[in-house]
Each structure stands twice: as structure tokens, then as C-alpha cells.
Amino acid sequence: MSRWVLVIGLVLVGLAVVLFWALRPGGPRARTPAGVAGELPTPTPAAPQRVMLLFPAADGALHPELRDVPLPEEIHERVRTVVTQLLEGPRRGLHPVAPYPARLLDVFVDGRGNAFVDLSGPPVPLQGSFEELALAYGIVDSVLLNCQELKGVQLLFDGREVPTLTGHLDLSKPLRLNKSLIAAR
């Protein structure tokens, strides 16, 4: 008798715990059921493709580094992939595009072919046009070369538009592909 009571008691405790967990706000029943709507923006499983990433060198030019990475079809996911790869840094003797450990905070693509890339801002002000150009066009040119349906990229820092980083480059609007900064082969 007492064994049955114990079993029933444990089952009830288990049920109560499961019920509480399942129905709490943010619990699994409150989340999006997998595949509930075909139009939900879930990244397409991507096959590895060759991307060209541009990193600065002492000659002031941006030099390409090729990498095979899974590249999603969705444009905003592709931008995210390219920038993430870029911020991981170069794998050979080039320099990072950002002279500080920049993080990618967000990516937004508008309907006019412009991507907005939000980065964590520099902890101390950058100096000189060299660093501003390397950071801006390392990202802008890498994104535009790998996402050719885009026409411009605007950099945001900590969620804000900035007029300029070091008092040189106009960052208040999307930048276009700038081939003059890419090293000639």
C-alpha cells in the first residue's frame, strides 16, 4: 500500500514539475514551434564557398585572403558570415581590420541594397586615416565583393551612426566598393 502511495506521489511530483516547466513564460510551449511557418527567416543550410576577405598591410593597401566557409543564401546571414570571418582576423601575415577586439553586434539589410553593420566601438579613439580606412573598407569591400547584390555598407558603432571615426572618412552614409584601396596583383 505504502509503496503505491510513494509511486503515485512521485509521479504527481514529476507531473507538477514538468507542467510548471512547460508552461512557464518563455518555456518550450511559449517558443516558436519548429517549422511552424514557412516564411520564418531561418538560415538556409549552406555549402562551403570561397570568400575573399580583405586585410590591411603596412603598404596601406587591402590584401585578399581566401577562405572556404559555409555561406548562407540569405543576404543578411551572408553579410554576418563575412564580417564574422573578417573580425576573426587574418590567418597569414596581414593585420586585423580593427585595431581593437571589435565584435559584430547586428546586421540589417534594407530594401535599397544597403547593409548596416553594427560593431562594438573602439575603447579608445583611433588615430590617423590609415586605421579608419582599413577598418571601414576592410569590411565594406569584403562584404560588397562577396555579396554582389548589395551596393553599399554603412558602419554603425554601438548601435549609432557616427559622422566619422578619426575626423577623416565620412561614415554618415553607406560606403561603396572602393577598389583603389585593394592591392594590385
Partner 1 sequence: MGSTPTASTMSFFMRKLLFVLTVTAALMAVSTPAPAQGSSVSFSYAGQVASVPRFASRIEVLPVLRLLGAEAGFSPAAGTYVIQLDDHQIQIAPGSRFVLTDGQLEKAEEAPVSSPGGLAASAAFIERVVLSPLGFHLERLGMGYRIVAGARVAPVVDVRPAVADFGATTTLVLTLGRPVKATVAEEGGGVKIDFADARPQIDRSLPMRSRRVLGLRPEGQRLTIVLARGMGLLSSHELTSPDRIIVEVGRRRVPPTPAPMVAAARPSRPTIVIDPGHGGSDTGAVGGNGLQEKDVTLAVARRLAAVLQADGYLVRLTRNGDETRALTDRTALANRLQAVAFISLHANASSFKSAKGAETYYMSLHDATDEHAAETARKENAAGAPRHGGSALDLILWDMAQARVLNQSSRLALDVQRRLDTLLNLPDRGVKQAPFVVLTGATMPAALVEVGFLSNPAEARQLENPAYQQHLAEALARGIEGFLRSES
Binding residues among 137-176 for partner 1 as defined by CB under 8 A = 137, 149, 154, 156, 159-161, 163-164, 166-170, 173, 175-176
Least separation in angstroms between residue 46's CB and partner 1 is 14
6 vs 4: CA distance, rounded Å? 5
Touching partner 1, residues 105-134 (CB under 8 A): 106-111, 116, 118, 127-131, 133
Determine which residue in the list 25, 92, 123, 148 makes contact with partner 1, applying CB under 8 A.
Answer: 25
Name the grid cell of 184: 594590385
Task: Provide the edge-to-edge strand list for the sheet that holds 152-157.
Answer: 104-109, 114-119, 152-157, 160-161
Touching partner 1, residues 47-66 (CB under 8 A): 56-60
Least separation in angstroms between residue 20's CB and partner 1 is 5
Least separation in angstroms between residue 125's CB and partner 1 is 10
> In the complex with partner 1, which residue's Cβ is closer, 88 or 108?
108
Cβ–Cβ < 8 Å for 145, 179? no
Total length of the chain: 185
Q: What are phi and psi of 181, to 5 degrees?
A: -95, -5
